[in-house]
Amino acid sequence: MTRALTRAAATAAVLLMLAACDGTSSQPDPTTSGTTASESSEAAPSSAAPSDDDTATATQDATPEPELNTPVPAAGPVERTWPQEIKTISQGEREFTLFGVHRLDDTRAVVTGRIRGASSSTAAAQWFEPGFLHTRGGYEFSRVAVVDQDDVRHLPVRDKDDRCLCSLSTAVYQELGDKGQAPAWAVVSLPADAESVDVEVADVGVIEDVPVTPLPDAQSVPFGWDEVLTIDKVTRADGVVTARTTMINAGDFRPSYTLARHEFEFPDLQGQHCFQGLAAYGPVAPTGRMAKDPDCHRGSMVEPGQQITLEVKIADPGGERLVILPDAGLPVTTPAEGSPAEGARESLRAYATRTEEAGATVEEGEALEVSLDTSVLFDFDKAKLTGKADQAIAVAVKTLKAQDKRAIVVAGHTDGQGSAARNDELSEQRAKAVAAALQKKLGSGWKISVEWHGSSQPVADETGSAEQVKAAQARNRRVEITVP
């Protein structure tokens, strides 16, 4: 006790001497301290020596935040921890493990899982929704759909450029040999009353009776082929979401691609060439993509056993609840500081809900469009409606009657096979056949315009493997009904 008092007295004497030397007073400056003189007196520290706990707390508080954009050794051993699995299905080179179907809001859900492939250079491209092959910016995981109790298929949502809101593979599998596995997710439309669904992965298999559950909380998730992504802190201010993240290479090799390969293909921002692999989902406004940021990181992936701290700026989609969607990692839910405010319009993307039933694909976004599959409506090279067409026409009629407008455009299209003259003729005949059927079912009070375009307005490139060409041709053969 005597030694403690002696130390305290000596410390006080030294402090008084230092104050006298620099001409300052021990009284805090009221313009910077935020306290009054009386409050300073009450809050003055005691002369007792600090305890070991106090010293530890002070040291901890003084620990600086990691320096941005600088690779450093990982803080400790890191493993990629996967969520609990529901079921694994496979076919040929494709293997998909389902983690869950999680509710995002009243109209949408996210399907989460893990994909695995062989070392074929085309394996990564095999996860596209048939007929939607894009290679710029990564390979989509969009081969998934969920089927509700009414046998309606709910498809991945897409923007006006046909890009899905889904995870992207940034490299083909041959760089990893046969060990490649990566997180996968896709946002699909789903009505609020759906409690369980079947999950369908085209040409791979079906997982039945999957419950629709809330999105689990997660801060650290597997990312890419060997990395772990941690969202350390999220703030919202002035229409911008700032996510401070840590990326750790938990594998045994360094990928050859740069962090700039992680992106959601937002054309206005391509010149930045930096890490932009996060999106922000909110139910009020469209999904936020990367906000313009001259200080974004332009480096490469880190070496095995290293980590890097990055700060990513994303346009705020608005709404209280915020979900961070990494392009190559599982969804992250984390509290955010600050107030939500819708961000810059050029950095926001709207995604249309898409459903398919009986050969009729309904897309509801900024406009309403119903695309009818001609393989269901007509026999090959014919323009007479088949018996199977009735259901597809019925879906179109139900959809059209549910909205307020009473003017529609019916347009016929073909694929690129055959002569231009025959394609023009066939698309005209088919468009007129569908228009007549709609007029009969809709009744009076509707204005129906008819157009035909042959093969001049394809929605898919008829290139690639035989499978990809066939799927693209199937998309191009259609009769579209739009509400202008």
Give the pLDDT confidence score for residue 83 in this predicted structure: 95
- Residue with the larger pLDDT of the pair 298 and 49: 298
| Strongest mean pLDDT among 218-227, 256-265, 333-342, 374-383 | 374-383
Residues 337-396 have pLDDT tens digits of 999 998 888 888 889 999 999 999 999 988 899 999 999 999 999 999 999 999 999 999
Full-model pTM: 0.82
Mean per-residue pLDDT for 403-411?
96
pLDDT value for 28: 34
- What is the distance between the alpha carbons of residues 288 and 383, in angstroms, rounded to a whole number? 44
Average pLDDT over residues 420-427: 97
Half-sphere exposure of 136 (CA within 13 A, CB side): 7
Average pLDDT, the chain: 82
Q: How confident is the model at residue 270, as a pLDDT?
A: 46
Supply φ then ψ for residue 255, to 5 degrees. Answer: -60, 150
Task: Specify the higher pLDDT residue, 48 or 293.
Answer: 293
pLDDT, tens digit, 9 for 90 and up, residues 153-177: 999 999 888 889 999 876 554 455 5
Average pLDDT over residues 275-294: 75
Q: What is the pLDDT of residue 123?
A: 64
For residue 266, is pLDDT > 80? no
CA distance 474 to 376: 11
Confidence at residue 22, expressed as pLDDT on a 0 to 100 scale: 42
Work out the average pLDDT over 52-81. Answer: 71
pLDDT tens per residue across span 71-85: 999 988 888 999 999
Residue 410 and residue 400: Cα distance in Å, rounded?
12
Give per-residue pLDDT as tens, 434-470. 999 999 999 999 999 999 999 999 999 998 888 889 9
Q: For position 73, what pLDDT does the model report? A: 94
- pLDDT per position as a tens digit, 83-138: 999 999 999 878 999 999 999 999 999 999 999 876 565 566 788 999 987 655 56
* Beta carbons within 8 Å of 434's beta carbon, 6+ residues apart: 372, 377, 385, 393, 410, 412, 479, 481
Mean pLDDT of 236-265: 81
pLDDT at 422: 97
**What local confidence, expressed as pLDDT, does residue 275 receive?**
78
Q: Report which of residues 314 and 58 the model is more confident about.
A: 314
All structural domains of the chain, each given as residue ranges with its CATH number in brackets, are: 2-63 (no CATH), 69-351 (no CATH), 358-483 (3.30.1330.60)
Identify the residue with better confidence: 256 or 102: 102
Q: Which of the two residues, 256 and 480, has the higher pLDDT score?
A: 480
Q: Which of 21-30, 83-92, 227-236, 466-475 has the lowest mean pLDDT?
A: 21-30
